[in-house]
Amino acid sequence: MNNLLSKIAVIFSFIALAGSGFAVSRVSQLELSLPSASVSSSVVPDSPPEDSPTAQETDPDESSRNGQSIQLGQFSQVALDGQARVEITAAKRLETAEGSADNMIVLELRYRRLVDTVVGNGYIHLGKAQARNPDTREIYRPIANDKKTAPFFAKTLPTDAWADAFVWLQVPKEIDTVDVVLDKTPVFKGVPISS
């Protein structure tokens, strides 16, 4: 009887091991398909070297559209109590197949983990992102939950690695500069919106 129970236990152990291996492979595939998972282990400098091209030199069309573009490192803040850096890489009006979507902008961000050990939850939720009119203080919120990347968790990145993210905000077409308010990050003042 003991011999039979041992064989049954070995069979169940094998089935459990195979099931957990399958679950691990599925989780790995899901992590690779996350929209905010453009992760690089290379170090992104806080400011560009003097001999590197600027955004204006690499994309002359963008800067000529309305004369406003964001330079590398121009809008960069330390966040999460010094555990990460958040940089705004672009703020631009969305275009649809029918033409311009005048009241919507996409805010493109880059996160970078700065410390070896993350203390606390260490996340930034883009659902709390806001654009604010610098003159009237009117607040513009995200459009919908599916128009942003998942929250940024500093623990998911290796030290000095970066991840890209985005959020769509509803900003009237007559507004061409906003202050950007992000979760657990100082306010970005005077961010230009390109067409």
| 12 and 86 housed in the same domain | no
C-alpha 182: how far from chain center = 11
Residue 10 shares a structural domain with residue 74: no
pLDDT tens readout for residues 108-161: 999 999 999 998 888 888 888 999 999 999 999 998 767 888 888 888 889 999
Instruction: Specify whether 71 is located in the same domain as 90.
Output: yes
Residue-number span of the structural domain to which 141 is assigned: 40-192
DSSP string, 129-160: -EEE-TTT--EE-BS-TTSBPPPEEGGGS-TT
55 lies in the same domain as 12:
no
- Considering the domain architecture, whether residues 169 and 100 belong to the same structural domain is answered as yes
pTM for the model stands at 0.62
My answer on whether 60 and 94 are in the same domain is yes
Which CATH number does the domain housing residue 44 bear? 2.60.40
Give the chain's domain count. Answer: 2
Asked if residue 7 and residue 88 are part of one domain, the reply reads no
If asked whether residues 97 and 143 sit together in one domain, one would say yes
d(CA 112, CA 135): 31
The reported pLDDT for the residue numbered 107 is 93
Alpha-carbon separation of residue 186 from 58, 76, 87 (angstroms) = 29, 10, 11
Could you tell me if 43 and 160 are in contact, meaning their C-beta atoms sit under 8 angstroms apart?
A: yes
Which residues in the chain come in under a pLDDT of 70?
22-68, 96-102, 145
Please spell the DSSP secondary structure of 35-55, one letter per residue: TT--EE-SPPPSS--TTSPPH
pLDDT reported for residue 72 = 82
Claim to verify: residue 139 and residue 61 sit in the same structural domain = yes
Same domain, 91 and 178: yes
Query: Within 10 Å of residue 1's Cβ, how many Cβ atoms?
Result: 5
The secondary element (H helix, E strand) that includes residue 31 is helix 2-32
**Whether residue 108 sits in one domain with residue 52:** yes
- Sequence-separated contacts (24+) of 117-121 with Cβ below 8 Å: 118/80, 118/83, 118/154, 118/155, 119/81, 119/83, 121/153
Give the position of tokens 């950007």.
Answer: 180
- What pLDDT score does 180 carry? 96
CB atoms within 10 A of CB 121: 12
User: Do residue 18 and residue 48 come from a single domain?
Assistant: no
State how far the Cα of 177 lies from the Cα of 71, in Å rounded to an integer.
15
pLDDT value at residue 7:
86
Structure confidence at residue 35 (pLDDT): 41
